[in-house]
Amino acid sequence: MQEAFGSLSGVKVVYAASALAGPFAAQFMAEHGAEVIWVERAGMPDNMRFLSNRGLMVEADRRNQRNISLDIACEEGREILLKLLTDADIFIESSKGDQYTRWDLSDETLWARNPRLVIVHISGFGRTGDPDRVSRPSYDPIAQAYGCLLQLNGFPDRAPITAQPFLADYLTATFACSAALAALHRSQRTGEGDSIDVAQYETLIRMGGSPLINYLNEGTLPEREGSRHSKYAGCGAYLCGDGEYVYITFAGNGVVRRGLALLGIELGSKGFPEKATAFLKESAAGLMLDERLNSFCGEHSAMEADAAFNTAGVPCSAVYTYPMAAADRHYREREVFVEWDNVSGERIRGVNIFPKMQRHPGRIVRGAPSVGMDNDEILRDLDFDSDEIAALYKRGIITRQ
């Protein structure tokens, strides 16, 4: 049993999900003190173990967890899962359609064992709706395509571009985690659990912002903007003299006033009225502004331009690379990157726990578990004896690597 820490100490989470969305939702809870048990399919390790050198993707997104490699599709495996869920607070699974019902693990079956259980179903297209769509497989780029995000990214004269890395998965995880904790809050007061249906594409359509609301109410369609705003000058990426880019947002009267002074343009002159907040891209003023910005940036390095615009009060950032972030003072002083030991004793460097909580902070207390690493411990907690555990290994109900 791990030492108590964090805001979720005392919460037990069990998940049977692969790849990113479900595990990352559980990961957040593990980092804030929840007891998290990862149920990995026996004989079918999570493919994230193989998508990076040394399994580093798993190290990043499976910290503080215990692992049991279990065949939940067979009767004995289902019974073990049900025992795990008897005192759990949250169960997260990722599958298509009614897969768990076909395994005799419907919500009603789970609630018969634990009425207060919060159940989170994560899938590409949800559990209900068009049967053809519900039954389809999905990955992050598929969700971006169907969820109308892909149409927004890239240049208007070229193919759309997916947002990286795994934006649909990470947003889905965020929605799933917040919904699970909201349901848990009610469950702890009433003793009644809930079932949450999280579809990847719906998290993206929920984040549709102004392009979506404008279309639904006014019928206007968005255009892919590329690296600069499709309507306004001074908003976008500008190439600097060292071959790097800065991103500038030249909007708002105060920004306009200060930015024009830096660029040597007189506020109040023709095309630049005193109360201006932005300039249309194709207007004479917009064309002049972009020309001055191109010239200014071309005469400075990205970091010099970053410093100059921010000193003038114009929102701007150099387009950071990982080496720049790793060397940056602000990143360093806010402890964005930390180190921990994996279960083999190897030192791993990765991203810290966010957001940070002042009074009850999260911790990294363990690296990602190997396949079936905690089988014996978890099963002993469920009152299995050594002979019973050995028999489960022999029949392939549990496995270890």
Q: Cis (ω within 30 of 0) for the bond into 165?
A: yes
Contacts of 172 (CB under 8 A, 6+ apart): 21, 25, 122, 143, 198, 200, 203
> 204 burial class (0-12, 13-18, 19+ CB within 10 angstroms)?
buried
Closest CA to 86 of 110, 68, 103: 110
Separation of alpha carbons 180 and 200, rounded Å: 15
Closest CA to 286 of 315, 251, 262: 251
Interior angle at CA 310, CA 305 and CA 313, nearest 5: 135
Contacts of 297 (CB under 8 A, 6+ apart): 238, 239, 240, 241, 246, 305
Residue 169 falls in the annotated catalytic set: yes
Given phi > 0 = left and psi -120 to 50 = alpha, else beta, which region is 310? Answer: alpha
From 46, 169, 290, 306, the catalytic residue: 169
Separation of alpha carbons 297 and 240, rounded Å: 5
Closest CA to 228 of 147, 286, 305: 286
Tokens, residue 239: 């190439």
Closest CA to 293 of 335, 220, 238: 238
From residue 138, alpha-carbon distances to 89, 172, 240, 242, 355 in Å are 28, 13, 39, 41, 29
Separation of alpha carbons 113 and 145, rounded Å: 39
Active site residues: 169
